[in-house]
Structure 1
Amino acid sequence: MASESFDPERPDALLASKGHERDGSRGAEIDATREPLLDRSISCESYSVKAAVLPFLFPALGGLLYGYDIGATSGATISLESSTLSGTSWYDLSTVEIGLQVSGSLYGALIGSSLAFTVADFLGRRRELLTASMLYLFGALLTAFAPNFPVLVVGRFIFGIGIGLAMHAAPMYIAETSPSQIRGRLISLKELFIVFGMLLGYVTSNIYVEKVSGWRYMYASSAPIALIMGIGMWCLPPSPRWLLLCAIQGKGNTDGAKENAVGCLCRLRGRPHDASSYEEIDGILAELSYTGDEKEAGFREIFQGKCLKALIIGVGLVFFQQVTGQPSVLYYAATILKSAGFSAASDATRVSILLGLLKLIMTGVAVLLVDRLGRRPLLLGGVSGIAVSLFLLSSYYVVLNNVPIVAVIALLLYVGCYQLSFGPIGWLMISEVFPLRLRGRGLSIAVLVNFASNALVTFAFSPLEDLVGTAALFGGFGVIAVLSLVFIFFVVPETRGLTLEEIEAKIL
């Protein structure tokens, strides 16, 4: 395998290993070089903080627009249903129509996540985010200028497809282009952008909710952000890891692939072409050669070996993230605060702003701690707090209903602990654990499960509440939270400080 070291002057050498691997003689030579690959400190990557900002910022705007849609839609629904403020002749909407308007982007996100399974590896992370920004822009404008309800729903679906693609590609692009020392912090910071987007949506709703056709302004306000995201992604380089994967698999022009990847890496790190850049690229190439990534991923492989383990970790986290009641607890927020006598509780938009601020602060705490404490401590501590808060809420509706402060404490504890754990860490882990060759498809399944379980919990909450009662429902969420703790303790690994290649080699 010594012959597989890549000469900086010979970019075509990255394919030299392919014939060597196919002849079945890898065994001893690979084992001899395996340990040096993992032992050398690729983790100590030199980078410029200034250069790392933009490759994070523009993909993170995709998350901000997702959060903005959640926040703005609550106010847009109030505006759209008002006979005096709607500014339309079709304001008298049925419950089904309101449901389509509110959840249209969520169903679009399900479609976008499904599309990502087939197009992500072809487009690459950068072009997928470019496509998402165009869908965001077109969907926002179509919704804002909708002449009738069917056009509005189509606009919501198109915007939602953009959400599905953006939430799939953004964590991948950030994970693959970030220095390993700050990867966790940057991906967690993307969750901060989602929360900030929600807060921005709530504030925008509060500004326009009493204006005629205010819902049009709420939806149109996301268009400039989408445009900035598109321009930014156009200017950013592709993911070096994706370029190398394409080269190893024989797609496109392979002659200058290594030099292209080195150039992109240097732009992303803000450093000149030097020996360390070639060494980092050589390390990625050596790992790709070792793991047999020259073959394109097949559907069955997603459910085998390393990817199956990664799928269990990633899908398990995003599933528990939703079925521990996250959409439902926030649904009850206004009622809980009002019962405690908070004057702001009479105004739903102001209550939302209050909770948005709390979410923002706690996500900021998670960002500061994730690369210091690690992923597992935050998950175990945060989810423990979620379980306690859910059992407190259940008790409030059974025996403590004359002590509303208990419900308020439980609500704030839930929101804070969720933003310390499942909120940022779920998205972080799914972007880290999948092997490179299967990352696009594996992550698309995880994102699809996230949106599908969100839709399921949102849809099933009211029927289940009527069937078993509020107390039993929150108690059930608490039991699920305890089960998720068991899952985290026994299944979820610690990935702090490891490169993506080291995670694949050491943990999977």
Structure 2
Amino acid sequence: MPARISDPEQAKVSIFSRVFKQDVTKMAAGNTREPLINGGNSKESYSLRAAILPFLFPALGGLLYGYDIGATSGATICLESPTLSGTTWYNLSSLQIGLVVSGSLYGALLGSTLAFAIADFLGRRRELILSAILYLIGALLTALTPNFLLMVLGRFVYGAGIGLAMHAAPMYIAETSPSQIRGTLISLKEFFIVIGMLFGFISSTVYVDLVSGWRYMYASSAPVSLIMGIGMWWLPPSPRWLLLCTMEGKGNISVTREVVISCLCRLRGCANYDAASMQVDSILQELSNVDTETQATFWEIFQGKCLKALIIGVGLLFFQQVTGQPSVLYYAATILQSAGFSAASDATRVSILLGTLKLATTGIAVVVVDKLGRRPLLIGGVSGIAISLFLLSSYYIVFTQLPVIAVIALLLYVGCYQLSFGPIGWLMISEIFPLRLRGRGLSIAVLVNFASNALVTFAFSPLQVVVGTGILFAGFGVISLISLVFIIFFIPETKGLTLEEIETKVL
């Protein structure tokens, strides 16, 4: 399968050009081909029914990620209980509990690093199959473990599956989806993450009062992992990845071309051979303009088009975490309790309440992302995030007797996050990287995401002691304003464009 690959720069354009708008006339110099963007001619024919399964099975990787977040909150409560743990090693230290909670995060960091090395070799489909296998092994090892060490190992293995899934799923969906609904489908993956969280919270509520209930919580994800693996085995590989392999000399172009056309017809649910053939030719023509016969060096990822894509993708996923998302959710139960909500006495009910709000607002983003575009949702949502963080800060510093301000700020933050950073961050990284370096570039972005999550999670408590909760939330608000400036000046609009059009005209 494909070796390491690169995307040399075609036109020397400053990375600080406003929103990375490309000088099309310079790009077209010496190139007589027709532009890929041509009004409505770039639209693809497809059957909505046929587009469901190529989205659904990869999206289960996101659902399993969300489920782990939701289930672990209840599992730790059960695991520490002398009467409900069902173990002789229930008396866990804070460090041991931290390993249970964060084990999957460490594993995800490992999986993201692993993806950099193997993604282009395995391809999107087989990477997702490997992810499903790791999910299954991790879930069963955690649920059936006889001791603490094997439980932590299971959490690491499950987390490695998360790292691979969150890397490969956006790529597979982006490379197999019709351009008209690509944004909707990739945003739906975030929707599945939230659904997974809700299922995890519900699972916690159902099993938390049972002896060894934590085993049932973790074991419940095993059947979904199996379905994901079987589904990915049944689906065809990414047509774009197959063509890239062939252009690198890994197969016969004529044979591969026919296979890719067959895959496209299957993915689109229509037997329009001519339309599929034209799309294949456009991808091949784009690949023919770059050096596909030599392997890329590591540093070529930080050059030309991929450098611009890296700034966009890494910047979005970095700001997605350092604007305080883990910390705000950490304070959710406390804020609702201070406002007198009876449901706040039960942490799992609070989680379900917030999960429902996240689901509703993510659903709105899914519906409008391919109509309004990526930039309006990001700009509007991040503006709301900044306002909500400053409101939270004012509650802890000035308006301590008005908890309604904190509740409004909390709900505003959750809603705006799910309209912007939540779905759009993952959407942008799946479509912005050039094909030849998409696997490796996206792995760096995902690694930064999980690393930033870990940084915010571990730095929050020490910073809270040093500067206070109010000042800390104000700091997050300032970072949100910086991220808003970054979005305005650096994030392009990709609505309605094919992946080849994005590579040609946006980067």
**TM-score (norm. length: structure 1):** 0.93
Residues 338 and 29 of structure 1: CA distance in aligned 2, closer, same or farther (over 3 Å): closer
Structure 1 partner of 2:165: 166
Structure 1 partner of 2:12: none
Aligned-pair distance for 1:253?
A: 4.8
Distance 1:499 1:29 in 2: 18
Structure 2 partner of 1:356: 355
Aligned-pair Cα RMSD in Å: 1.3
Q: Is residue 88 of structure 1 aligned with residue 82 of structure 2? A: no
Distance 1:487 1:460 in 2: 24
Contact 1:378–1:420, Cα closer than 8 Å, also in 2 = yes
In structure 1, give the amino acid aligned to 2:478: V
Distance 1:29 1:335 in 2: 58
Residues 110 and 28 of structure 1: CA distance in aligned 2, closer, same or farther (over 3 Å): closer
Distance 2:383 2:239 in 1: 38
In structure 1, give the amino acid aligned to 2:318: F
State the secondary structure of the residue aligned to 2:34: helix
Q: Deviations over 1:458-503 (max 9, x none)?
A: 0111000001000000000000000000000000000001000000
Distance 1:91 1:253 in 2: 59
Structure 1 partner of 2:15: none
Structure 2 partner of 1:392: 391
Aligned-pair distance for 1:102?
A: 0.3
In structure 1, give the amino acid aligned to 2:466: L
State the secondary structure of the residue aligned to 2:433: coil
Q: Is residue 232 of structure 1 aligned with residue 239 of structure 2? A: no
Structure 2 partner of 1:113: 112
Aligned-pair distance for 1:30?
A: 7.8
Structure 1 partner of 2:424: 425
Contact 2:67–2:196, Cα closer than 8 Å, also in 1 = yes
Contact 1:42–1:280, Cα closer than 8 Å, also in 2 = no
Q: Is residue 463 of structure 1 aligned with residue 462 of structure 2? A: yes
Contact 1:187–1:424, Cα closer than 8 Å, also in 2 = yes
Q: Deviations over 1:348-398 (max 9, x none)?
A: 000000000000000000001100000000000000000000000000001
State the secondary structure of the residue aligned to 1:366: helix
Higher relative contact order (CA 8 A, sep 6+): 2
Distance 1:60 1:284 in 2: 25
Contact 1:116–1:168, Cα closer than 8 Å, also in 2 = yes
Distance 1:31 1:282 in 2: 20
In structure 2, give the amino acid aligned to 1:247: T
Structure 1 partner of 2:367: 368
Structure 1 partner of 2:493: 494
**TM-score (norm. length: structure 2):** 0.93
Matches within 5 A, 1:191-230: 191-230=190-229
Structure 1 partner of 2:59: 60
Structure 2 residues not aligned, in runs of 5+: 1-25
Distance 1:294 1:244 in 2: 13
The ranges of structure 1 where at least 4 consecutive aligned residues each deviate by more than 2 angstroms after the TM superposition are: 27-43, 252-255, 291-298
Q: Is residue 136 of structure 1 aligned with residue 139 of structure 2? A: no
Distance 1:287 1:199 in 2: 42
Aligned-pair distance for 1:290?
A: 1.5
Distance 1:202 1:43 in 2: 43
Which stretch of structure 1 is more off in the superposition, 299-308 or 244-253?
244-253
Distance 2:153 2:422 in 1: 29
Aligned residues: 482
Structure 1 residues not aligned, in runs of 5+: 1-26
Distance 2:462 2:273 in 1: 62
Q: Deviations over 1:403-435 (max 9, x none)?
A: 100000000000000000000000000001100
Contact 2:261–2:273, Cα closer than 8 Å, also in 1 = no
Distance 1:497 1:435 in 2: 17
Aligned-pair distance for 1:204?
A: 0.3
Which stretch of structure 1 is more off in the superposition, 117-126 or 295-304?
295-304
Matches within 5 A, 1:238-257: 238-257=237-256
Contact 1:243–1:257, Cα closer than 8 Å, also in 2 = yes
Distance 1:348 1:488 in 2: 35
Aligned-pair distance for 1:273?
A: 4.7
Distance 2:33 2:387 in 1: 45
Contact 1:63–1:197, Cα closer than 8 Å, also in 2 = yes
Distance 2:41 2:318 in 1: 33
Residues 215 and 438 of structure 1: CA distance in aligned 2, closer, same or farther (over 3 Å): same
Contact 2:36–2:500, Cα closer than 8 Å, also in 1 = no
Aligned-pair distance for 1:254?
A: 4.3
In structure 2, give the amino acid aligned to 1:180: S
Contact 2:198–2:355, Cα closer than 8 Å, also in 1 = yes
State the secondary structure of the residue aligned to 2:494: coil
